[in-house]
Amino acid sequence: MEGMSERAYAAHAGLSRGAIQKAKAAGRLVLFADGSIDAEASDKKRAAMTDPSKQRGTAKEKLKPVPDAALSAVGDTLREQGMRAPVTGGNTTFLQAKTANEVLKTQERRLKLQKMKGELVDKARATALVFRLAREERDAWINWPARAAALMAAELSSALSEAGQETVVETSLMQKILETHVRAQLAEVGGPNIRFEIT
């Protein structure tokens, strides 16, 4: 026999003979012409074809680090959820990245469900709506002096007449003064500062 038997390779790999038979049937082992197992080549092939999180023994300790670029979004998501984010710089294992990815998928499903239930709104639509409402409110204030000036001038003239002063307040002057003060107030308040917080 050129290589190892199934039983010997199972002992070598730290797996059951049934697991070795499954790996053999799936083509994850390298065999010699006589059907025996080439241990060194099979170890490499199994390592390349097997999910590291599902390997037994010391395989989890030898997991390769995940690139930093692949972890940035995952780390942000974990921090938003109050969880400890993976450390970048070559210290993050495949298992940590896989766990973070599952958290991302769960969060995405939760957001889709909330959107379907009507609990979430589109940020762009909400921003456009708030701007439109703010613009309508501003326009209403800009047009207010033209509507109110005549009434205010008449009331002020009446009040002055009752006080013994025969002074007539001109509507155009009242409107001009009101417009000046309304525009100054609107300039001081400024436009809407829209910031949507993620909860």
Asked if residue 23 belongs to a domain, the reply is: yes
Asked if residue 195 belongs to a domain, the reply is: no
Summarize pLDDT for 81-133 with one digit per residue, the tens: 666 665 555 555 667 667 777 877 887 888 888 888 877 777 888 888 888 99
Q: pTM above the 0.75 mark? A: no
Summarize pLDDT for 179-199 with one digit per residue, the tens: 999 999 888 888 767 666 655
Q: What DSSP letter does each residue of the chain carry, written as one string? A: --SB-HHHHHHHHT--HHHHHHHHHTT-S-B-TTS-B-HHHHHHHHHHHS-GGG--GGGGGGPPPPPHHHHHHHHHHHHHTTPPPPPPSS---HHHHHHHHHHHHHHHHHHHHHHHTT----HHHHHHHHHHHHHHHHHHHHHHHHHHHHHHHHHHHHHHHHTT------HHHHHHHHHHHHHHHHHHH-S----PPP-
Give how many domains the chain has, as a whole number: 3
- 182 and 128: one domain? yes
- 141 and 171: one domain? yes
- 127 and 185: one domain? yes
Domain range spanning residue 22?
6-50
Question: Residues near 22 by Cβ (< 8 Å), separated by ≥ 6?
Answer: none
Question: Residues near 182 by Cβ (< 8 Å), separated by ≥ 6?
Answer: 141, 142, 144, 145
Asked if residue 62 belongs to a domain, the reply is: no
Asked if residue 97 belongs to a domain, the reply is: yes
Asked if residue 45 belongs to a domain, the reply is: yes
- 72 and 109: one domain? yes
| pLDDT at 59 (0 to 100) | 45
Asked if residue 57 belongs to a domain, the reply is: no
Asked if residue 31 belongs to a domain, the reply is: yes
| pLDDT at 58 (0 to 100) | 47
Summarize pLDDT for 17-72 with one digit per residue, the tens: 998 999 898 888 999 989 899 999 999 888 887 766 565 554 444 555 555 655 67
- Torsions phi, psi for 4 (to 5 deg): -95, 155
Summarize pLDDT for 149-189 with one digit per residue, the tens: 989 988 988 888 888 887 888 889 889 999 999 999 888 88
